[in-house]
Every structure is written in structure tokens, then in C-alpha cells.
Structure 1
Amino acid sequence: MKNNKEKRGFKSLLEILMVSTRLGLTSFGGPIAHLGYFHNEYVRRRKWMDEKSYADLVALCQFLPGPASSQVGIGIGVVRGGILGGIVSFIGFTLPSVIALIIFALILQGMDVGNAGWIHGLKMVAVAVVAHAILGMAKNLTPDLKRKAIALFALVGTLMWQTAFTQVGIIILSAFIGFLLYRQHTENNDAKIQFPISKKFAAICLILFFSLLFLLPILREVTSLHWIALFDSFYRSGSLVFGGGHVVLPLLEREFVPTGWLSKDEFLAGYGAAQAVPGPLFTFAAYLGAVMNGWAGGILATIAIFLPAFLLILGTLPFWDSLRRNPKIKGALMGVNAAVVGILIAAFYQPIWTSSILSPIDFAFAAILFSMLVYWKLPPWVVVVTGAIGGSLMTLV
């Protein structure tokens, strides 16, 4: 009996690893596009999570600092396979880009990868993926005029005031509006999510998160050790970022360029490389660490910048299901979910659309990719390959 349970557990972990690795190899386009890939794979295809539970998890990760898409992937892995499932999901989604960026740092420094045609093609893939995700989520999360109005408010606010804290402020305000509008709402069709994490373990994760945040700078000053200073810089950057991977770039630039640990040209070359690989933009840290201290530095930097996100998502998940099912909070979540749709649409326009659709031929090709994904229902990796090849060919026209 025990052996059968262990086999099922191993099989489940292997399945999580295979699916997340495939996503890690094909998920181009930044955090919003990643949420689209996750929605298509985990919700639509595999049904590991229902629509509302996925939207609630996305809403939670928007609240937390760190890479939202990575935290969503970890959360889904935890739902499917416990803490090990979360770790395996994270490794599968993150490791391909970490390896690629360390290789970039060691071998391809100075090459101009940022303007390659195939990268432009992958940006158009992101347009198709995000558009598909928005259509599906909007249908389920904004079914009435009130929630459509909240989504519109979030869309306008996000585009008009582009600061690091705008997104968090809009979500908080939308939660309050949702509470006022839907506090008498009696809908009760949420599926219960099982997070196999104890509240005691979650509390330890939260304590560790804040302890490292405050103690690492002190330890850095007391010891003056390079490795501790490196770990502190990446950990602090990963702890204080709201709004996705692009927001972490100025934090990292201020940590390493003025100190002389690497040059501005090296920093910008790495940013171009990070745009060229799939997976989370936070893996840019792997490139920076590898430039400064070889492959070991790349691994240390990756662990340091993602550790806050891991501790925060594991520390909040056990409390999340009971909170989201509380009648007093459910209305607020309905407002937040509607706001997430608006934020997704805003991100779809800026930066995804504005950096990808630069001419009529770009729009035509994006429409073809969208049709391949939505109407012909081809696997995402086929759409990704088609986008890369098409982008390369378009530079020859």
C-alpha cells in the first residue's frame, strides 16, 4: 500500500516536472504572457485548477512582492504535489533560462541578441498567448456590468499612472469596491483548494523571509565577505519588487553597476540576452552572477533572488483558501479578480503590443499565430517555433 502511494507521488512529481519544464522551454513574452501559458496548460488542458481558483491565486501573487508568474507556478505545483511539487514546478519552469543565461554570460558576452528577428517573432507569439488568456479570463471574471466597470477602471489606472505601486494600489481599491458592491452576493460555486502545507510551516517561512531581509545587510557589514554581499543584494532586490520582472532591473543596476562589480555594457548585454530566453525575467540574476563569479555565482544569484518569492508564497498559501471562501472577503476578491483582467489588458497593450506589433505585417502574423492557438488548437510549442521561424523570415522581406 505504501509502495503504491510512493509510486503515485513520484509519478505526480514527474508529471509536474515534465509539464513545467516544457513551459520553461516555450514560455516567452514576460510575466503576463506566462500567466497565459499557465492558464492554457494548467486550467484549460489539464484542469489541475478551476478558473476562479486560478484567478484567486493570480490575485494573491499580484499582492506579494517578487515574480508573480513564478509564484503562481509554485502555487500550482503545491496544489498538485505538495511542497516538493512546488519545488519541482519551480525548477522545471526556471532552470532552462538559468542555464541559457549562464551560457550567455560565459560564452556570448558582447553579442547583439536583442535585435534578432526570431526574438521579434517570439514577441508576436506573446501577443497571441496573452490575447487568448484575456478572452478566457474576462468571460469568467467580468460577467456583469459592475465587474466590467472595475476592469475598465483598472485598465485606465494602470496605463495612466505607471509606477511601481500603481498595480498594488488599484488591487486594494478594487477589493474595497468589490466588498461594497458584492458583500450580499450569495454565489457559492468555488471549489476548495487543498494546500498540503501546515500553518506552522507557513509561519516559519514568513519569519525566515523577514529575518533574512533584516539580518543579511547587518551580516554583510560585519563580515565584509563578497559572497554574503552578493547574496544580500540579490535577496533584497527580489524582496522589494512589485509589478513584475522589469521593475527589478533598475534595482539590480543600482546594486552592481555603480559599485563597479560589472560594467553598464555588460548589464545591458545581459538584459538583451534575458529577453531572448523563455521563462521568468528574474533569471537575469543568473547572468549577472555568472559575469561576476562564474557559474557558481550564477547559481547563488538565482537562489538569492527567488528565495523571497518562495518563502512568501509558501507562507501565505495555507491561509489563502479559508480567506477567499470567507463571505466577508469573497466580494472583495470578486473586485480584485475583475481588476486583474483590467491589469492584464493594460499589460497586453504596454509593453507587449507596443513592442511587438510595429507594422501591418506584424499584425497579420500575430493574427495567424492567434488562430493557430485558439481555432486550430495547435500545441503552444508549435506556435512558438512558428513564431521564431516567421520572425526570422520577416527580417529578410
Structure 2
Amino acid sequence: MAASTGNTGPKEIQSAGSARGNTLEVLLAFLKLGLTAFGGPIAHLGFFQREIVQRREWIAEGAYGDLVALCQFLPGPASSQVAIALGYLRAGIPGALAAGIGFALPSAILMIGFGYGFSAINSQSGFLHGLKLAAAAVVAQALISMARRFCPDRVRLTLAAAAASVVLGFPTAWAQVLVIAAGALYGRIFLQEGEPSAKSTFIHRDLRAGWFARFNIAL
């Protein structure tokens, strides 16, 4: 769970810089991620953080945390929603489409191939068991990396631990939604950090663009 670091939304996202990219740049970046980001959505978010936030500096750490929190609150795969939103912030509507296609295309092609040979793969239980163990390690590494950055103090660490305890004790979709909503409310009341730093800038969109971002994130 990522604690919000400010009052941001589809119309206002803190960016690491005001420079705009092009569609090809976004497509290649997310195609690379689609080919190398193994594991589930949580692991993908860790890969996004390293590639998009830390290495390419397309968006600030705090804004990325806010974006992840927003997408976790919505139904559907959070990693795909975050990818589309990051592409949109970098290169507008074409960037959103490029990010979604680039990130999903490699796995879609591989799954079609695996689908044809699933019966043969299924008979090799040791092969699948090894894949599960490797995936668990990837997800654990992503969780540890995100926890270090999104829980920098005792208050946020305690909040994350409490949220984890609840969702592990009550593993239902409604419990997850309620925990995220409670965390957002707590952060809104108790974790305000004042004005954004000079290192961050705001991206302002018109109302139509704001609704387009909501639509893409909700996919």
C-alpha cells in the first residue's frame, strides 16, 4: 500500500520534469518492460519504478506512489492501468495506447503459444513448480523495494503493516477495497506534507483530458 504524498489526481500529477516524450519512445520503453517484467502486477509495479521512475525519471517518486494507490483502488490489473497512465502522462493519448500495446503484446503472444502447448507443459509439474518459485522471489523483491521507498517512516510502515494484516486475515476483494479506502482517508487527514517541492512540477490538463485519463486508468 502506498501512502499518498499530496493532493494529486488525473488532472494534477507531480512529474519529475516537464519534458515531453514521443510515442515511439514510450512504445520501446514498455515493450522492453513487457519482455522483461516477470511476475504478477505487484512485481510489474516494482519494474516500473526502477525503469520509469528511477532510470528514465519520467515521473516523481511521490506522484508514482499516488498513481499506484489510485490504480489499486480500481478494479482490474493495476500494472496495466499504471502503464497506460504513465504512457499518457509522457506522450498523451498516443502514448497511452503505445504503453498499453507495448506492455501487453509480448505476454499475449507468449500466452497464445503456451495455450497450444499447455497439455505438454502441464505434464511437466516440476517445470511449473520451478516457475512458481522463481515468480515468488521476483514478487518478494518488488514488495521489499516498494516498501523501502513508500514507507520511509514509522507511521507509514505501521500503516502498511496493519493493512497487510487485515488483508491477510480477511482475503476478500471487499476487505482490500475497505483497507485501501481507510488508508486513503487516514493519509488525507494525517499525512499531509504541505506544498510540493521545487523538484516537482504539476501537469495541468483540461477537463476532457482529465476524463480521458480516468477512462484509461479504469480499463
Matching of residue 53 in structure 1 with residue 63 in structure 2: yes
Count of residues in Structure 1 that have an aligned counterpart in Structure 2:
200
Is the partner of 2:34 in helix, strand or coil?
A: helix
Matching of residue 110 in structure 1 with residue 122 in structure 2: no
Tell me, in whole angstroms, the C-alpha distance in 1 between the residues paired with 2:127 and 2:53: 29
Runs of 5+ consecutive residues of structure 1 not aligned to the other structure: 1-7, 207-310, 316-397
Deviation for aligned residue 1:26: 2.1
Residues 20 and 93, structure 1, Cα contact 8 Å, conserved in 2:
yes
Tell me, in whole angstroms, the C-alpha distance in 2 between the residues paired with 1:158 and 1:36: 20
- Cα pair distance change 1:178/1:115, threshold 3 Å: farther
Structure possessing the higher radius of gyration over alpha carbons:
1
Residues 74 and 89, structure 1, Cα contact 8 Å, conserved in 2:
yes
Matching of residue 194 in structure 1 with residue 203 in structure 2: yes
1:165 is matched with which residue: 152, 165, 174? 174
Tell me, in whole angstroms, the C-alpha distance in 2 between the residues paired with 1:138 and 1:51: 13
Deviation by residue 1:21-40 (Cα, 9 ceiling, x = unmatched)? 12112222111111111112
Residue 47 of structure 2 corresponds to which residue in structure 1? 37
Residues 53 and 60, structure 2, Cα contact 8 Å, conserved in 1:
yes
Tell me, in whole angstroms, the C-alpha distance in 2 between the residues paired with 1:137 and 1:104: 31
Deviation for aligned residue 1:47: 1.4
Is the partner of 1:194 in helix, strand or coil?
A: strand
- Cα pair distance change 1:101/1:70, threshold 3 Å: same
Tell me, in whole angstroms, the C-alpha distance in 2 between the residues paired with 1:97 and 1:81: 23
Deviation for aligned residue 1:132: 3.8
Matching of residue 87 in structure 1 with residue 97 in structure 2: yes
Runs of 5+ consecutive residues of structure 2 not aligned to the other structure: 1-18
Amino acid aligned to 1:313:
I
- Cα pair distance change 1:93/1:205, threshold 3 Å: closer
Residues 39 and 133, structure 1, Cα contact 8 Å, conserved in 2:
no
1:100 is matched with which residue: 102, 110, 114? 110
1:137 is matched with which residue: 146, 160, 174? 146
Q: CA RMSD in A?
A: 3.0
Residue 13 of structure 2 corresponds to which residue in structure 1? none
Amino acid aligned to 2:77:
P
Matching of residue 313 in structure 1 with residue 187 in structure 2: no
Deviation for aligned residue 1:314: 7.3
Residues 35 and 69, structure 1, Cα contact 8 Å, conserved in 2:
yes
TM-score, structure 1 as length reference: 0.45
Residue 281 of structure 1 corresponds to which residue in structure 2? none
Deviation by residue 1:200-243 (Cα, 9 ceiling, x = unmatched)? 2544787xxxxxxxxxxxxxxxxxxxxxxxxxxxxxxxxxxxxx
Deviation for aligned residue 1:187: 5.7
- Cα pair distance change 1:204/1:124, threshold 3 Å: closer
TM-score, structure 2 as length reference: 0.77
Tell me, in whole angstroms, the C-alpha distance in 2 between the residues paired with 1:205 and 1:180: 26
Q: Kindly indicate whether structure 1 or structure 2 has the higher relative contact order, using CA contacts under 8 Å at least 6 residues apart.
A: 2
Residue 34 of structure 2 corresponds to which residue in structure 1? 24
Amino acid aligned to 2:217:
I
**In percent, how many aligned pairs have the same letter?**
42
- Cα pair distance change 1:16/1:62, threshold 3 Å: same
Tell me, in whole angstroms, the C-alpha distance in 2 between the residues paired with 1:78 and 1:205: 7
Deviation for aligned residue 1:139: 3.0
Between Structure 1 and Structure 2, the one with more helix by share is 1
1:153 is matched with which residue: 146, 157, 162? 162
Tell me, in whole angstroms, the C-alpha distance in 2 between the residues paired with 1:151 and 1:94: 29
Is the partner of 2:43 in helix, strand or coil?
A: helix
